[in-house]
Amino acid sequence: MPVKRFKIFITLITIAAVITALVVWLSREKPVAVIVKAVDVGVVQETVTNTRAGTIEACRRAGISPSIGGQISSLPVKEGELVKKGQVLMELWNENFMAQYELAKSEVKAATAMAKQTCVRAEVAKRESERQDKLKKKNLSSEEAVDRADGEARAQKAACNAARATSEVSKAKLIVIQAELDRTRLIAPFSGVVAEVNGEVGEFVTPSPVGIPTPPAVDLMDISCLYVSAPIDEVDAPRIRVNMKVNISLDAFPGEVFSGTVKRIAPYVLEVEKQARTVDVEVDFICQQDCMNMLPGYSADIEVILDEKGNVSRIPTEAILEGNKVLVLTAGNLLEQREIKTGLSNWVWTQITEGLSEGDEVVVSIEREGVEDGVPAKRDTNAR
């Protein structure tokens, strides 16, 4: 073969080899980008959570209304106002009771004065009877005078007792009228915030008919003490005990977790149409100062801590596949499926008892396309 043809042949072979290598390189399987987390050591909690959003509630809340009907004559408070225990919140027209009250006060004064006058006379008559008795012993007074003085003393004593009884009756009458007068006023049973006022000056209010609830005249809440009420599925409820620790989170405070304890478990199951049967669990904040910026009505979620272990191997719960399996990014940048055994678990962390070692990197972006056993992979450096 001539040298020129040989060189051409070698050149063609070389070009073919380069093209073949290029085609192989271009057609090779590209590594999938994955987010990984290394197995570490820390605390893992076993928890149960509420099935629907819970609610921040005030420890004390009262919807109060007058016990009698009448026309509103005074509304000294407004919605959102802080009030103290014993403060008047609403007053109905009560001039008739006020007049009766003033009359009764006058009658008490008159009856008291009359009783005092009568009893003074009784004391004078008693002393006169004792004096006549002493004179009789010295034969200086007659039997008739002694009897007359003794009878007068007993009569005045009886009059004194009657006057005192009349005075007590007048005082009791004053108390009755005072009670009637008090029924025309709404008094704050505790210090708190006026959440709602239903009514205006001049309007008429009436008590709720039996069995027919109506909006309260004043809704009063003590927001210095708050707690969370949340529904727990009936399956999880038997595992919960009073004083168990709880993690509390609120949509209004994203990223913050508050500490609490279970204070009450409802002794019955709620059955709501088209919803799972649940048990209401009430949770106190461990530090009530955490509630300073919270308002009753905020939605809240709770995690009741059933068990807790520290210094254990753990991975993010989101990395676990069905059948207790995970995908591990190997040193050769391949995804390898491994079967694991787990211990305690919650929505965030799962304890690993077998199948992984500290430092192994597990894939947490398992929902990405192409993430499966045996495929080439690389770390997603753009992921946080």
292 lies in the same domain as 354: no
Q: Inform me whether the pLDDT recorded for 373 exceeds 80.
A: yes
243 lies in the same domain as 299: yes
281 lies in the same domain as 327: no
* Full residue range of the structural domain in which residue 118 is found: 94-183
Is residue 217 situated within a structural domain?
Answer: no
Q: Per mean pLDDT, which range of 10-24, 145-159, 362-376 is the poorest?
A: 10-24
Amino acid identity for residue 193 in this structure:
V
Which of 278, 307, 336 is a domain's end point?
307
Is residue 207 situated within a structural domain?
Answer: no
327 lies in the same domain as 258: no
pLDDT-based confidence at 197, cuts 50/70/90?
Answer: very high
Q: Inform me whether the pLDDT recorded for 27 exceeds 60.
A: no
Contact 126, 156 (CB under 8 A): yes
216-252 pLDDT, tens digit each:
899 999 888 899 999 999 999 999 999 999 999 999 9
pLDDT given for residue 174 in this prediction: 93
Is residue 19 situated within a structural domain?
Answer: no
Q: What is the mean pLDDT of residues 310-321?
A: 92
pLDDT-based confidence at 186, cuts 50/70/90?
Answer: very high
Contact 56, 226 (CB under 8 A): yes
pLDDT-based confidence at 355, cuts 50/70/90?
Answer: very high
Between residues 172 and 12, the one the model is more confident about: 172
Nearest alpha carbon to residue 342 among 363, 360, 356: 356
Is residue 72 situated within a structural domain?
Answer: no
How many domains does one find in the chain?
3
pLDDT given for residue 334 in this prediction: 87
Report the chain's mean pLDDT, rounded to a whole number.
87
Is residue 251 situated within a structural domain?
Answer: yes
Count CB neighbours of 309 within 10 A: 14
Is residue 121 situated within a structural domain?
Answer: yes
CATH number at residue 339: 2.40.420.20
CATH number at residue 296: 2.40.30.170
Which of 307, 324, 353 is a domain's end point?
307
Is residue 201 situated within a structural domain?
Answer: no
pLDDT given for residue 379 in this prediction: 85
pLDDT given for residue 384 in this prediction: 57
Is residue 302 situated within a structural domain?
Answer: yes
289 lies in the same domain as 314: no
Q: Inform me whether the pLDDT recorded for 5 exceeds 70.
A: no
pLDDT given for residue 2 in this prediction: 60
